Structure 1
């Protein structure tokens, strides 16, 4: 896969290489989707206790590991947007630890700007896909995606020692290790599922262009709507219509998306759950995306 990536942007053969990479990723996802729920379970933080656990995980990643923010006395990373956000996390079942989290921030009016509008509005230059182009109750922002170091490591890193947060081969099985790189993808899927359920179809996010390109290989096609700026590293504003995700995902990832949404519904607190049948999953959106 590494050699294929080096050829993906080459003229003439680049298109063929990208299709090959997408096919390989889809096949792998089909295998992973059968095992993912055995080890990792997406959930909604429906209680204050779970939300505090989410904030603690974010502190670990954003303040202690990445140093994007200062260490807090409370050892919780939270801000003014958390009260109007839906928080999702993925639980590693055998260790009971949180393996990742993401939030979906909502807004009701102009007095409740999205973080992207408040801090990065100068980076947005697309005339038709800015947040201001849509009704306020139809937009949201994906934010604070965090995966702790122990779950970011690949199997190849597991001999580097516990001090670096490496995966302990005596703790995690090889099948579990194969699932770990999919944690971030499943968090993006979870946020998109929450957006669709709440009918906030227009989703915005600040991310690294390299990450946006990588996500296209699995069919998550964020569109750039502005320029690159310094914001916890070099990042740019992106947009996606959440309703399109089931149509652009490769078949292997559609199965993974269905599994993610099913687990979110089971956890309770899923936006729109009370008004939408449990069986209406991703493939149902493909047929009726309204």
Structure 2
């Protein structure tokens, strides 16, 4: 199967993104608070998906957070959080968040292939991008679009579309490192198209359903996605994976940092794992 075509400018766009943003695992209480604050801002205040009065300290949380690996994108010059995502891992007999939302919409024949294989499964969820880093001049408001309250140069602004993509890459890298290579996600219609344009192809595994808007379930096998990715995207993925591996053990627990051999894939300052 041929690799998806990629815009010839994509490589330089990823380089520009690394100049303006920092991607990290959210492992400290302070980092996790930033993750939850982004979710509160987007899900509660901006779009009204959740009741803001149900949460304390302007932090949106749920019962799955304790069994999740969280990732965060920070805007370097302002020090503001720009986006977040989590990877929810489950044990045998446990359900993923999506299962309670899209029952009846899932392709049961496909999903049954993973019966008694919960140890290989995970859900990518709570992907959110702050409004300040989502809308370019003249664009409409969507949760993952490409800002007005802050002032950005045009070159910087054009990288905003990669925030959601970088978060998806981060979640995929986490899944790879903790051996959860069968990933599921509930997505709005436009997100699979955004991912496809950068070379990430997800498989639709069910019909549309209404959950705070039109959604559908999707599936991604990490190994297959990495093999099929364009060279530029795979390079970025390997950067993320290599540096996350310094602190993320196969069981999802943080481990002590250790030295590693230098690699041409690693660009200092692109990824933070503090």
Please state how far the C-alpha of 1:43 moved relative to its aligned partner.
0.4
Corresponding residue of 1:141: 123
Instruction: Return closer, same or farther for 1:177/1:127 CA change in 2, 3 Å cut-off.
Output: same
Q: Give the CA deviation at 1:44.
A: 0.6
**Aligned residue for 2:182?**
202
What displacement does 1:175 show? 2.5
> Alignment RMSD, CA only?
2.7
Contact 2:177 2:248 in 1 (8 A): no
8 Å CA contact 2:14, 2:162 repeated in 1: no
Larger Rg: 1
Aligned to 2:19: 38
- Work out the CA distance in 2 between the residues paired with 1:167 and 1:258: 34
Residue segments in structure 2 that go unaligned for 5+ positions in a row = 140-146, 266-274
Q: Which has the higher helix share?
A: 1
For residues 106 and 221 of structure 2, the distance between their equivalents in structure 1, rounded to whole angstroms, comes to 17
Instruction: Determine whether 1:109 maps to 2:79.
Output: no
Structure 1 residues 35 and 264, CA, compared in 2 at 3 Å: closer, same or farther? farther
Stretches of structure 1 that go unaligned for 5 or more consecutive residues are: 1-18, 158-164, 284-290
Residue in 1 that maps onto 2:43? 62
2:104 counterpart (116, 122, 125): 122
| CA deviation after TM superposition for structure 1 residue 130, in Å | 4.7
SS of equivalent to 2:77: coil
Counterpart among 112, 130, 133 of residue 151 in structure 1:
133
Q: Is the 8 Å Cα contact of residues 43 and 263 (structure 1) preserved in structure 2?
A: no
SS of equivalent residue, structure 1 residue 185: helix
Which of 78, 89, 98 matches 2:72? 89
Work out the CA distance in 1 between the residues paired with 2:41 and 2:75.
16
Specify the SS of the correspondent of 2:233.
helix
- Judge conservation of contact 1:228–1:236 (CA < 8 Å) in 2: yes
Cα distance 1:270–1:186, how it changes in 2: closer, same or farther (>3 A)? farther
Question: Could you give the per-residue CA deviations for residues 108-164 of structure 1, whole angstroms, max 9, x where no partner exists?
Answer: 121x2100122322211241345743511100000000001000012556xxxxxxx
1-structure distance, mates of 2:110, 2:262: 31
CA gap 1:279/1:178 in 2 versus in 1, 3 angstroms: farther
Distance of 1:204 and 1:58 partners within structure 2: 20
TM-score normalized by structure 1?
0.77
Give how far 1:232 is off: 1.8
Partner residue in 1 for 2:231: 251
Distance verdict in 2 for CA 1:31–1:51, change over 3 Å? same
How far did residue 192 of structure 1 move? 0.6
Q: Map 1:193-232 onto structure 2 (within 5 A).
A: 193-232=173-212
CA 100–258 in structure 1, closer or farther in 2 if over 3 Å, else same: same
- The 1:280/1:107 distance shift into structure 2, 3 A limit, reads farther
Per-residue CA deviations over 1:231-257 (Å, capped at 9, x if unaligned) read 121001111101112222222222332
- TM-score normalised to the size of structure 2? 0.81
